[in-house]
Every structure is written in structure tokens, then in C-alpha cells.
Structure 1
């Protein structure tokens, strides 16, 4: 009977340690729980050819891959 109680306590302690380690930040500090951010209003889909960030990245890749040595 004592063995069973010790086993249950050990499992609970291990579960708490694993959970605390998962919540630890990069410096070991505990990070606050985050809720998923929901968009505030309708989400507008932007096609890749209308997205300025996509076009900049495409242009950067084209300049890098033009065959010139780096």
C-alpha cells in the first residue's frame, strides 16, 4: 500500500516538473499564458502578386540567383 502511495506522489511530482519546464521562458522565468489572438474583423486575403512583402522577397531572390558569384 505504501508503495502505491509513493508511486502516485512520484508521478504527480514528475508531471508538475514537466509542466513547469514547458512553461519556462528562455532565461528560466515563467512566461504568462497566452490566448490565441483573434482577428478584429474580417480577414482580407491578399494575393501574392498584390503583397508588397512577397514582391520584395521575390525581387531579392531574383537578384541573388542571377548567376553572379556571391
Structure 2
């Protein structure tokens, strides 16, 4: 009978520990409520010949190297 009581208490303690661990974050703090996040805007890739910064750098290098763009 004592064994059964100890077993039930152990199961309850393990369940509480597992539940507490699931609710805590990586630093041991509780997780904030989940809010729906705004969808991110799609990333626009710019080809090098359309990128103004790349073209400025290319022109700067060409002037520095004496006119050779490559």
C-alpha cells in the first residue's frame, strides 16, 4: 500500500516537473504569450548590374586602376 502511494506521488511530481519545463524558455523564464507575427516582406534580389552601390564601386575601381573596369 505504501509503495502505491509513493508511486502515485512520484508520477505526480514528474508530471509537474515536465509541465514546468515545457512552459519555461531557454533561460528558465516563462515564455511570453504567442502573438501572430506579421508576414515578412519577400526578399528582393538585385542583380549586380542593377545595384547602384555595385555600379558606384565598379566606377570607383575603374578610375583608381586607370580605366580598366575588370
Q: TM-score, normalized by length of structure 2? A: 0.48
Q: TM-score, normalized by length of structure 1? A: 0.48
Higher CA-based Rg: 2
